Amino acid sequence: MIDTELTREHASVEVLERLAASYPVPRLGTALEVADLICFAASEAAGYITGASLDINGGDLMM
């Protein structure tokens, strides 16, 4: 879950805290972290990456 204004409009602080605590990285992600991944994926540094799925979810899919 990414911490945004929209997220906070639709879920209480208690729900978000409980959700964040359940992740291996026990916090919500930030919009800046998503932007950083997008910038990396669009850069020459990622030029040899093909057909990959880059999950940005605090480890939620590992569980």
Considering only CA atoms, which of 32, 21, 33 is closest in space to residue 60?
21
The answer to whether residue 61 sits within a structural domain is: no
Q: Is residue 63's pLDDT more than 80? A: no
Read off the pLDDT of residues 26-59 as tens digits, 9 standing for 90 and up: 999 999 999 999 999 999 999 999 999 999 999 9
Sign of the Cα torsion 10, 14, 17, 18 reads negative
Domain interval for residue 13? 2-54
Decide if pLDDT at 61 tops 90.
Answer: no
Please tell me the total count of domains within the chain: 1
Any domain includes 49: yes
Which amino acid belongs to residue 27?
Answer: R
pLDDT band at 62 (very low <50, low <70, confident <90, very high): confident
- 63 part of a folded domain: no
Judge whether 21 lies within some domain.
Answer: yes
Residues contacting residue 11 through CB under 8 Å, at least 6 positions apart: 19
Beta bridge partner(s), residue 3: 30
pLDDT at 50: 95
More confident residue, 10 or 60: 10
